[in-house]
Amino acid sequence: MTTAVPSVPDLSGSDLPLPDLGGHTVLALHAHPDDESIFTGLTLRRLADAGARTVLVVATDGALGGSRVPLRRGETVRRRRRAELEEVAGLLGVARLVLLGYRDSGLPGWPSGAHRRALAASDALRLARRVAELADAEGAGTLVHDDEQGIYGHPDHEAAARIGATAAELMGATGYAMTIDREHLHVVARDRHLVHGAARAASVAYGRVTAEIALAVTGSPADLERKRAAILAHESQVGPDDVPEETFAATYGYEWYRRSGAPGVLDRLGNAHLVAA
């Protein structure tokens, strides 16, 4: 069998499953504010709409991202990004937002990564136990986290991958490792995704080939509108020109995952991968 690279997603919504996920809880661990919208915005919104409880855990303050807009008097980047994240949690239907309070580590090779409070310098096993305890307290049988490459090699994403994968293993939970399908983007959205600029800034490769990816989640036009609204709510980081409406569906219409364990809750949202014999 060969796995075909999907082109522009059909977002008519008519073929999308609407499972009853009441009673299920999913914990999503992200490195920075805005990662949740860029990489899992469709997934989180659709889980909430299907009745699942979602817990969003964000590890760092993202302060080293700076701000593309002027800050208010007395406002810091850290406070601005937290306020944006809180707004986005509402847009995506998140039931509980948890901030781990670590410092942004910056790009590979930056001295900020060695700071004692930087996520990249943290004790991954200790944090994994903390996340596992949180997931257990919430009754979460599913954990979402970065893949082992950190999607595009950012030290904080790599740390979140170690923490999330270990937490899922400690719990015996199904783990979904978010990634990017670089073959898909090369075909339909070359150099249009925010990850392209991030990977250039970090001087690293990004994503996976299609055959390495177990699951692709898509959504309806309304889901895409809410995802774009969530990304743009991170105004300090992203502007409308960064995510043009006319190319948004092609660029952000799928969210991709590698899975550890048996198919779980995210699979019930439907798999948009096209498989041909």
Q: Which domains does the chain have, with CATH numbers?
A: 2-276 (3.40.50.10320)
pLDDT at 109: 81
pLDDT at 13: 45
Residue of 63, 57, 4, 52 whose CA lies nearest to 216: 4
pLDDT at 205: 82
Contacts of residue 68, defined as CB under 8 A and 6 or more positions apart, other chains included, come to 235, 236, 237, 238, 239
The pLDDT averaged over each successive group of 10 residues in the chain (277 residues) is 46 66 98 98 98 98 93 95 98 98 88 87 96 97 95 92 97 96 94 90 86 95 97 98 96 96 92 59
Distance CA 258, CA 144 (A): 10
pLDDT at 9: 56
Query: What's phi and psi for 55, nearest 5 deg?
Result: -115, 120
CB atoms inside a 10 Å sphere around CB 207? 24
pLDDT at 111: 86
pLDDT at 198: 85
Contacts of residue 63, defined as CB under 8 A and 6 or more positions apart, other chains included, come to 76, 77, 78, 81, 103, 104
pLDDT at 15: 57
State pTM to two decimals: 0.92
Handedness of CA 88, 209, 154, 131 (dihedral sign): positive
